[in-house]
Amino acid sequence: MKGDYQDLVDEISALLGAPATLENRDFRLIAFGAHDSDDDLAMDPVRTRSILTRQSTADVRSWFEGFGIARATGPVRIPAAPEAGVFRGRICLPVRYRGIVQGYVWLLDQEPGLPGPGAAALDAAMEVAQRIGVLLAEEAKAGADLSREFLAVLTAGRGWQQDMAVAALRVALGAGGDGLHAAVCVTPWPGEAPASVPGAAAVCVVPRRVGPGPGSAGPGTGTGPGPDTAGEPALAVLLRLRSTDALTPALAAVARLLPRAAEATGTDANGAGGGGKAAGGGTGATAGVADPVRGLADLPAAWEQAVAAARAAAAQPRLGPVAQWSAIGPYRMLASLAADPVDDPAARTLLTPANRELARTAEVFLDCAGQAGRAAAALGIHRQTLYYRLGRVEQLTGLDLDEGEDRLLLHMALKAARLT
């Protein structure tokens, strides 16, 4: 399919005598023609970034869409704007199929005063653009089918429904279904799934919390572990891998999704800008990456891992914003145990906003394996202050912090509170 796009882009370049680029409706680069000009203005910052990063920024997209390209049915000429990084004017050929825009072909326009492509050449180029539109529409339909099957696997209950969903996804993926994959959860996710994600076999939006099947409760939804807030959507991505040791490209692809996800929360990808949780968890968009799996039968379990890692990254900022399930430590267990908001009688009072500092003190003390010197240093307080606070914690909880099981109970309650 990629070769077909390249051939058509080269055909437009030959018709109009200028190198062309093809982007989908999300301004992600699909193909571009050869560029052999010595004119420095021909490779302005916008064009250079699009080719090097294979996508345009949201500001660039908004600027070009302001010229009505999403509504246009014929070529649109866009003037140069050096202040926007557009040193040369553009000709945009909307790529449509049955009236719906599928993407855009871009060409550099001639300098003012020089003759540009004639009407006949532009008409011929638009005919080629229509052929591109057919290919993009077919690809989008195939992607929609994959999204539907992928979502069915993630939302099906255990048993024969899940077996049928996995079988349908395997058919939709074809030979690639038996390869090595990693499941990814990005939450919260605004709007629709992106048209494409580099290295992805399938992408879908999970509209609400998804768990391992009937009978597993999730906070506020009754359907199992998932995005942190009831009803909050998550993006699910099935990434293709070459080997279990080749996660770096997958992690890079996930990291590029976070800025868009963060727009929904009004925070940056690291969680800055929002209010804190009772136990100090983060508030921004986060992502979780499951351990690689071979074959789709293990995909539901891999999705649970990805969700748990995303929740852990939100709960403990040092783990994120992109966390691998293999690296989240105790949250691997707590994410499945903390199905409901923590309401253990011993920790209930300690976890109120009024006692936030005491809860933090107890958590740091327990993180330091009960070593008072380490805990006091980590908190930046005197050891006697630490002892005083720990005494208050014991009074509020009724627990004895000299007893191992009491320590374990409190430690689990504090960590689980971050997840909810």
Q: With 90 as the cut, is the pLDDT of residue 244 above it?
A: no
Question: What's the pLDDT at 116?
Answer: 75
The structure tokens 């969700």 sit at: 307
pTM of the entire structure?
0.59
**Residue of 96, 91, 89 lying closest to 71 (CA atoms):** 96
Q: Which residue has the higher pLDDT, 386 or 195?
A: 386
In 3-state terms, what secondary structure has residue 322?
A: strand
**Tally of CB atoms within 10 A around 52:** 9
Could you report the per-residue pLDDT of 23-69, keeping only the tens digit for each? 988 888 888 776 555 555 455 566 666 655 556 677 788 888 999 99
Those residues whose C-beta lies under 8 Å from the C-beta of residue 305, and which sit 6 or more positions away, are 183, 288, 290, 291, 325, 332
Tell me which amino acid residue 262 is.
Answer: A
pLDDT at 22: 92
DSSP for residue 209: -
Among 120, 111, 91, smallest CA distance to 19 is for 91
Instruction: Quote the mean pLDDT of the chain.
Output: 79
pLDDT tens for each residue of 135-158: 888 877 766 778 888 888 898 877
pLDDT recorded at residue 192: 81
Q: What is the reported pLDDT for 395?
A: 93
Q: Cβ neighbours of residue 91 under 8 Å, at least 6 residues apart?
A: 16, 18, 75, 76, 77, 78, 106, 107, 108, 109, 116, 117, 122
| pLDDT at 222 > cutoff 60 | no
Element (H, E) at 22: strand 20-24
pLDDT at 50: 62
Between residues 191 and 370, the one the model is more confident about? 370
Rounded distance between C-alpha atoms, residue 253 and residue 240, angstroms: 11
159, pLDDT greater than 70 = yes
pLDDT value at residue 372: 93
Q: Domains along the chain? A: 2-136 (3.30.450.40), 156-337 (no CATH), 345-419 (1.10.10.2840)
Q: What local confidence, expressed as pLDDT, does residue 82 receive?
A: 79
Token digits for 23?
């982007």
Helices H / strands E in the chain, number of each: 13, 11
Specify the 3-state DSSP secondary structure of 202.
strand
Query: What are the pLDDT digits (tens) for 81-97?
Result: 877 677 788 899 999 99
- pLDDT, average across residues 400-420: 87
Residue 250: is its pLDDT beyond 70?
yes
Question: Is the bond into 341 cis (omega within 30 degrees of 0)?
Answer: no
**In terms of pLDDT, which residue wins out, 299 or 259?**
299
Lowest mean pLDDT among 215-219, 294-298, 337-341: 215-219
For the segment 251-280, what is each residue's pLDDT rounded down to a tens digit?
887 888 887 666 545 544 444 433 333 333
Q: Which residues have C-beta within 8 Å of that of residue 264, sequence separation ≥ 6?
A: 188, 189, 190, 285
Could you tell me which of 72, 93, 89 has the C-alpha nearest to residue 81? 89
Give the DSSP H/E element, type plus range, for residue 286: strand 286-289
- Percent of the chain with pLDDT strictly greater than 90: 31
Find which of 109-118, 184-193, 220-229, 357-366 is predicted with most confidence, using mean pLDDT: 357-366
Residues in Cβ contact with 112 at an 8 Å cutoff, skipping those fewer than 6 apart: 89
- At 352-372, the pLDDT tens digits run 999 999 999 999 999 999 999
Closest CA relative to residue 71, chosen from 48, 99, 105, 34: 99
Rounded to an integer, what distance in angstroms lies between the CA atom of residue 388 and that of residue 391? 5
User: What's the first-to-final CA gap in the chain, in angstroms?
Assistant: 44
* Predicted local distance difference test score (pLDDT) of residue 197: 80
CA distance 145 to 336: 30
Place of tokens 């945009």: 92
Q: Which residue has better confidence, 264 or 326?
A: 326
Task: Please tell me the predicted confidence (pLDDT) of residue 277.
Answer: 38
Inter-CA distances, 259 with 55, 254, 344, Å: 14, 10, 36
